[in-house]
Structure 1
Amino acid sequence: MKHFVLYITWLLLLPVSLATAQTGSIRGQVLAEGRPLELATVVLPGTSFGTATDAQGRYELHGIPAGVHDVVFSSLGFQGKRQRLAVAEGQTTEVSARLSPSPAALQEVVVTGVSRATELRKSPVPVAVLSRREVNLNGSNNVIDAAVKGVPGLSAVTTGPNISKPFIRGLGYNRVLTLYNGLRQEGQQWGDEHGIEIDQYDIDRIEVVKGPASLIYGSDAVAGVINMLPRLPNGPVGQLQGDVLTEYQTNNNLIGTSLGLNYNKAGWQYAGRGSYRLAQAYRNALEGRVYGTAFRELNLTAMAGLEKTWGSLQLYATLYDNLQEIPDGSRDSLSRRFTRQVLESGLDIIKHRPIVPTAELATYRINPLHQHIQHYRLLSRTRLRVGSGELHALLGAQQNIRREYNHPTAPAQPGLAVALNTYNYDVRYAAPTWHGLEATLGLNGMYQLNRNRDATDFPIPDYSLFDVGGYAFLKRSFGKLDLSGGLRYDTRLLHWSDFAVGLNPATGFSQQVPAVSGLEPQFPAFRATYRGASASVGATYNLSDRLLLRANVARGYRAPNITEVGSNGLDPGAHIVYLGNRTFGPEFSLQEDLGLSAYLPDAELSASVFNNNINNYIYQARLNDANGQPVVLVPGNATYQYQQGRAQLYGFEATVNLHPKAWPALAFNNSLAYVTGLNRETSLLQENGADARYLPFIPPLRTRSEVRLSKQQPWGSLRQPYVRAVLDYNAPQNRFYAVDNTETRTEGYALVGLGLGTGLASGPEKREWLQFFLQLDNAFNTTYQSHLNRLKYFEYYAASANGRAGIYNQGRNLSLKITLSF
């Protein structure tokens, strides 16, 4: 494997040594309704070249590789335009564009979940795109929460303010594939308290595919894909540019800073960013500060790239380092003040725990009981022109190290310590268009090694995993009809040897011991091969220039993850003992999507319905004994065993965005999302009745309405100033998995948000040098619990003095974010 990776890397780097500076320039002007259009976007799809027009509507792109290119002009409120041109070596090509008013960006190009760059209107599967500006508007503690606010059908299971696991249409964990610039994120994401290890300040764009994307990515994409795309150097040639960002949030006194630099010349590109965030425990009106929710996070990113006539090459290196406290919800039974653990589990008595002093709640110091997560990533992306076609290759290497410190008498001894090494490969060939037919062939997969280190708890064994899959994808247009579809086949091999655990006499804790020690292995040797076929077929029909009908049917495949088949121990961060099942087979889903979109002069309307049937659906359930009492294998920790059956999820999403031409500054945006998850396993329903009717972690009906006043054209020195008000409503969740009180009913709630912001421009070129965003969330300091908040179930008593159980969500929060560009 090592020699294979080295060979492929050498092969992909070979063009660099052969490159020459065969470049030219493009310049021109963008007009709209006879006037220059400022801040219009000019990009070359498939490359990192792009810019914005100045106050005179003019733009200029330097260092463009000689050859034929597509250039796309776009601006909010105008219909985009695409034009093909030839760039000659050492020459400047003039190309201008006139954009027509339009209520929506009908031609926006996306690349997530499809075989090649595809326009949004031609994609039969629902795809949502969130720009960096929209992420900044939706002020939040992490990038997933920001995306949840902007994408209907996207939700998140949370464990405090800095841990959010994305769910798409009621499905999450390993069913949602999270990507960083196309590289699948592999970081022990099976756990409830394992977040997304990505620098949110470096993300330029988020693309979300809602529905099975297994055809392109294989296992772990049955619910959809979230691709986080970083910023690329695209400023003036030969000039060092950058930005400084600072952020402050009042609720948990979060302080965030980030510095980014970029430079490009003669096709060479360089960028770097360093970000640091720290926060105290968050607070709400009922509980004050919530002990165990502070964090510190460091991110470093470096990038080098090359754009030439033969294609492009980009190299990335990232580092993520996070210290994250572990809440457990223990309290004084009368005062309901938070308490802390000071003795080991055998001697620890909840009602005797000391109360946490107030001074230790409002501090940036990290508690002795915490997680330490480190994630390292190396990534290369190569695009080679092969005749009229293109060859894309991605190689990645990741290491994720997770330590969870849960021993109060030995704070330096991790309870959990695992290191996951993953090597990813993805090769895709986009063949030349033949009689209108676009064909793409691809091969991708990964090789993975997990090793337990010096720890005392072992929820999963050391294991190795090899995954490979190949696919073919076809797309063709017939006038108003766009058809696409393809087939894929995957194979995954999962293996581990005997893994034994014994007592360490020196410390009194458990430790890993050699398999030949004579002890019965905690994880007996296991080997399994999982195979599955995926398929997709979809169509988009243009009923008119402004009315689109979409339909798609997809079969998804997901192999069981390591905890589902192999777990047998305590995860100290989750306070759960997980028990797996070695007999599990792969999940297979069949989802149907139907959507209608209307782009009217004064409004943009869309509605979509979906139905998803899953065979061998895997879920968690509390383990009870023969008397119906909860099984307790480790005192103070719940015991869950994975189950498998049949499930059905169905629902709909709708958006109504009004922007009357008579009042161009006004936008009234509304969205609605609803999903129901049903257990279809007969034996489970017969045994538990109505308590087992629904699936766990299904979000309730949610609506979001926003009124925004903004000015797209410059207003003196101000750029895109806006004020906004948002109402986010979550209905009561009465449909929950009630077996053994795994879940309980959740009350509905409504949250009000207010915001304003603007950019500032100056100088002869009227260049924007400052962006300012002010956002007030939960303006009325509402006390609430989200149904997908895991802290809701962090409760040690059957009844509490104030009648409230579990931990509540964050209260009122004012966030300020300022970016200075230079």
Structure 2
Amino acid sequence: MKSILTIFFSFFTLAAFSQSKTISGKITSDQKPVNDITVKIIGTNQSTRSNSFGDYKFHGVGNENMVIQFSGIGYQPVKVKVSVPGDSTRCDVDLKLQTSDLNDVVITGVNRATALRKSPVPIAVLSKKTMDQNVNTNLIDAIVKGIPGVTAVTTGPNVSKPFIRGLGYNRVLTLYDGLRQEGQQWGDEHGIEVDEYGISRAEVVKGPASLTYGSDASAGVINMIPINPIIENGKLKGDFTTNYQTNNGLMASSLGLAYGKNDWKYTFRATGKAAHSYQNKVDGLVYGTAFREYNLSASARVDKDWGFSKTAITYYDNLMEIPDGSRDSLSRKFTRQILDDGDEIKNRPLVPDGELNTYAINPLHQHIQHFRLYNTSQFKFGNSDLNVLIGGQQSVRREYNHPTAPDQAGLYVVLNTLNYDVKYNLPDFARIESTFGINGMFQGNRSKDATDFPIPDYDLFDIGAFYFARKSFGKIDVSGGVRIDRRNINWNNFYVGSDAQTGFGQKVTPNDAIGQLQFPSFNKNYYGLSGSLGLTYNLSEKLLIKVNIARGYRAPNITEIGSNGLDPGAHIVYLGNRTFKPEFNLQQDLGIIAYLKDADLSFEVFNNDIQNYIYQSRLTDESGNPVVIVPGNLTYQYQQSKARLYGAELSINLHPSNMKWLSFNNSLAYVVGLNKNEALVSLHGRNAKYLPFIPPLQIRSELKATAQKAIGFLDKPYVKVDAAIFANQNNFYALDETETFTKGYTLVNAGLGSSVKAKNGKVLMDLFMQVDNIFNVAYQSHLNRLKYFEYYTASPNGRSGIYNMGRNLSFKVIVPF
């Protein structure tokens, strides 16, 4: 074994330094160093990226004339001719900012720098600048507003579960700095545990990405990339952000620090947010929607000639109330639960006014903690590189639902996950760029001192291997690959009994006389074969056609196969099915993109056929009445059938060349989800025709004017107005009233902002003011779970359920130092 390793490393050492000539340089923008810029020698397989101080270096280059390309997110690409007459030469460049994102370079999918225009897979990028200019209560909300085709199922202002083209839950894989996010994604009210103020950009892959990531990416991937500040050697740099929002009194502050010395770079960030209940003109202040969130993160990175290594740690802590929507039948004022035994929903006392706008968290709440420790490293071997990511994370979720015992958690689960991801970018062969990778995870979930047990304790082992390649044939770029996966999930017999003193449920041993078997033991392997093949045809520099076909794979999640109990935070009793098979989907994408002088245009259509699609449906008895297992809570049973989703997205971004101060951006997104269970549809007709959680047709338009020079101390201020138009949703899963019709609505928003500069040109602060829902429209999103929080068949004002947030004015200040 020792001899094999010696030969292995000797091979790469010889490949790396067989030629001694070097090219090095520094990459800047406005004379400031820029990191993570992709540097590639055209016509070869040699590429690298600039480090934290803007430096890059190539070893073993020839002495002939070469063309080096520099490209990166938000910068105009540059090509420079270089020759190396001696042993070494320098090539420094200063990049200009780019006004359009359509040509950006992304690092998503295959761990290589991929030009957006070359990728046949639909990919979108959202920058921090765009996120800062909108009102957001969490990161997923920001992504929904900025990227067509992305929506979210919401439960109040602090819980947004991302959906891509009508598919969500464990079908959308979320990544933090390349590490897959592992919490309790199966829950309706389980959000994404990420600090929104610590993210520099979000990359979204629309469509099956199982090739690179395996199970849970069958709908797409959202990669959230943390801020990586540009710093000068030996200097401390930082920023302070503060945000206030009027609707729910949200107060947020975030402090970021960065320091670099020689080859090392250190970052730190601390964020805090607090909000009372949000409000709208129908419900007033909505009881049970306050939250308090804290985030800490730190990292250390070293850049060397051999590559880089980064170690990071994050901590997320969120206290979030649990709304249930109970209220007085006549006044429609919110009521609260004060009893466990003998609780009568229609006789609960009113919530005092003072408790509706307090920042104190009420006794019925969730406490979510998430810890993350990981290392990501790259090792360069001449014309190839090895990328290794190892991460450990722990998700702790407590849901307190007992008013007479406020310290007793109803749900208390701890999920421990060890992730591993190894990718080797092979040396180019015949101009083919290829990557081989192995990744997966070890996972264990345990219930602690709880009273409700919706899922069993389980262990999971996941492993998959893939091969990806791409090659250019003149104007055609072709890419694709194949992957195979295996997932094992198992649990032992799980017994539950009743505590004689409290009357609450509790976990007991198999030998306990009061125990009942709630989750019989289970052990099963799931296998998946996935892949993709696509091409981009560059008709010209201005016009592209993209075609892609991909097969996705997803193993059933724990609640779909194992659930049998109440999830207190969702107010739902889930019933799973142990016989479910893995989902497989085959999606076809066709896109046309045009980069014109005065406009950027894109049009994408997709068709997605799914085998063994799993979805929720309310459980009813033979008379059609809802089955109630736990009073005051709905009962849902998972179903499985064939399904089909299809739709289109259109973007028209106008930026007249003779009116550089003006931009007019427009997008449209449309998706239809069909239930292909022929027996069910033939029996129930239109009520069972469509899939649940399908967003309606939506159109977004933004008109923005940006000054092209400073106005006094304001540096290029902007003003904008935008509208979000949502059509009626007539195509919904109506069987057993799982979903109901949702009326369309239009929201009009406006904002302005600017950087404030000193006389010496230094930025003193960035100011943003934005108002959402200017006209205080009363509306219900089709994907808002609170829409169904209703206990009466009729109400005095004709309104049912809880409405979305009303008018909201946001003030944000970012102070760099």
Aligned position for 1:34: none
Task: Say how many residue pairs are matched.
Answer: 783
1:137 aligns with 2:133: yes
Counterparts of residues 257-268 of structure 1 (less than 5 Å): 257-268=253-264
Gap change, CA 1:749 and 1:166, over 3 Å in 2: same
Q: Deviations 1:32-84 (Å, cap 9, x if unpaired)?
A: xxxxx789967523988579xxxxxxxxx4665675896636796x8422458
Counterparts of residues 94-173 of structure 1 (less than 5 Å): 94-96=91-93, 104-105=100-101, 107-173=103-169
Aligned position for 2:288: 292
Counterparts of residues 466-485 of structure 1 (less than 5 Å): 466-485=461-480
**Aligned residues of 1:233 and 1:269 also touching (Cα < 8 A):** no
**Aligned residues of 1:115 and 1:216 also touching (Cα < 8 A):** no
**Aligned residues of 1:103 and 1:602 also touching (Cα < 8 A):** no
The one-letter code of the counterpart of 1:128 is A
Shift of 1:628: 1.7
Deviates more, 1:501-510 or 1:470-479: 501-510
**SS of the counterpart of 1:691?**
helix
Q: How far apart are the structure 2 equivalents of 1:91 and 1:817?
A: 48
Please, which of 171, 195, 200 is the counterpart of residue 196 of structure 2? Answer: 200
**SS of the counterpart of 1:122?**
coil
**Aligned residues of 2:101 and 2:125 also touching (Cα < 8 A):** no
Aligned position for 2:338: 342
Shift of 1:233: 3.6
Counterparts of residues 69-468 of structure 1 (less than 5 Å): 72=70, 79-83=76-80, 93-96=90-93, 104-105=100-101, 107-344=103-340, 346-468=341-463
Aligned position for 1:45: 38
**Aligned residues of 1:466 and 1:494 also touching (Cα < 8 A):** yes
Q: How far apart are the structure 2 equivalents of 1:339 and 1:427?
A: 53
Q: How far apart are the structure 1 equivalents of 2:82 and 2:506?
A: 65
Q: Among all aligned residue pairs of Structure 1 and Structure 2, give the percentage whose two residues are the same amino acid.
A: 57
1:539 aligns with 2:535: yes
Aligned position for 1:677: 673
Q: How far apart are the structure 2 equivalents of 1:84 and 1:306?
A: 30
Q: How far apart are the structure 1 equivalents of 2:84 and 2:517?
A: 66
The one-letter code of the counterpart of 1:658 is L
Gap change, CA 1:27 and 1:418, over 3 Å in 2: closer
Q: Deviations 1:311-361 (Å, cap 9, x if unpaired)?
A: 0000110000000000000000000000000011x4111111000011100
Gap change, CA 1:805 and 1:134, over 3 Å in 2: same
The one-letter code of the counterpart of 1:803 is G
The one-letter code of the counterpart of 2:38 is P
Shift of 1:535: 1.0
CA RMSD of aligned residues (A): 2.5
Q: How far apart are the structure 2 equivalents of 1:330 and 1:557?
A: 40
Aligned position for 1:499: 494
**Aligned residues of 1:263 and 1:269 also touching (Cα < 8 A):** yes
The one-letter code of the counterpart of 2:765 is L
Shift of 1:634: 0.5
Counterparts of residues 660-699 of structure 1 (less than 5 Å): 660-699=656-695
Q: How far apart are the structure 2 equivalents of 1:206 and 1:333?
A: 44
TM superposition score normalised by structure 2: 0.92
The one-letter code of the counterpart of 2:801 is G
Shift of 1:508: 1.5
Q: How far apart are the structure 1 equivalents of 2:222 and 2:690?
A: 26
Shift of 1:388: 1.0
TM superposition score normalised by structure 1: 0.92
Stretches of structure 1 that go unaligned for 5 or more consecutive residues are: 1-10, 16-22, 31-36, 52-60
Q: Deviations 1:458-500 (Å, cap 9, x if unpaired)?
A: 0000000000000000100001000000000000000000000
Aligned position for 1:729: 725
Counterparts of residues 758-777 of structure 1 (less than 5 Å): 758-762=754-758, 764=760, 766-777=761-772
The one-letter code of the counterpart of 1:45 is T
Stretches of structure 2 that go unaligned for 5 or more consecutive residues are: 1-8, 14-21, 40-47, 62-67
Counterparts of residues 480-559 of structure 1 (less than 5 Å): 480-517=475-512, 519-559=515-555
**SS of the counterpart of 2:774?**
coil
Deviates more, 1:783-792 or 1:767-776: 767-776
Shift of 1:612: 0.1
Gap change, CA 1:355 and 1:49, over 3 Å in 2: farther
Gap change, CA 1:65 and 1:387, over 3 Å in 2: closer
Aligned position for 1:705: 701
Gap change, CA 1:457 and 1:68, over 3 Å in 2: farther
Gap change, CA 1:146 and 1:239, over 3 Å in 2: same
**SS of the counterpart of 2:38?**
coil
Aligned position for 2:44: none
**SS of the counterpart of 2:120?**
coil
**SS of the counterpart of 1:517?**
coil
1:817 aligns with 2:815: no
Q: How far apart are the structure 1 equivalents of 2:60 and 2:132?
A: 35
Q: How far apart are the structure 2 equivalents of 1:294 and 1:451?
A: 28
Aligned position for 2:648: 652
Q: How far apart are the structure 1 equivalents of 2:126 and 2:617?
A: 35
**SS of the counterpart of 2:680?**
helix
Aligned position for 1:757: 753
**SS of the counterpart of 2:539?**
strand
**SS of the counterpart of 1:521?**
strand
Q: How far apart are the structure 2 equivalents of 1:88 and 1:815?
A: 58
Q: How far apart are the structure 2 equivalents of 1:112 and 1:683?
A: 41
**Aligned residues of 1:390 and 1:430 also touching (Cα < 8 A):** yes
Gap change, CA 1:41 and 1:272, over 3 Å in 2: closer
Gap change, CA 1:243 and 1:717, over 3 Å in 2: same
1:582 aligns with 2:578: yes
The one-letter code of the counterpart of 2:108 is T
**Aligned residues of 2:237 and 2:259 also touching (Cα < 8 A):** yes
Q: How far apart are the structure 2 equivalents of 1:286 and 1:619?
A: 31
Q: Deviations 1:673-720 (Å, cap 9, x if unpaired)?
A: 000000001121123221000000000000000000113555554334
**SS of the counterpart of 2:518?**
coil
The one-letter code of the counterpart of 1:182 is G
Q: How far apart are the structure 1 equivalents of 2:95 and 2:459?
A: 56
Shift of 1:88: 14
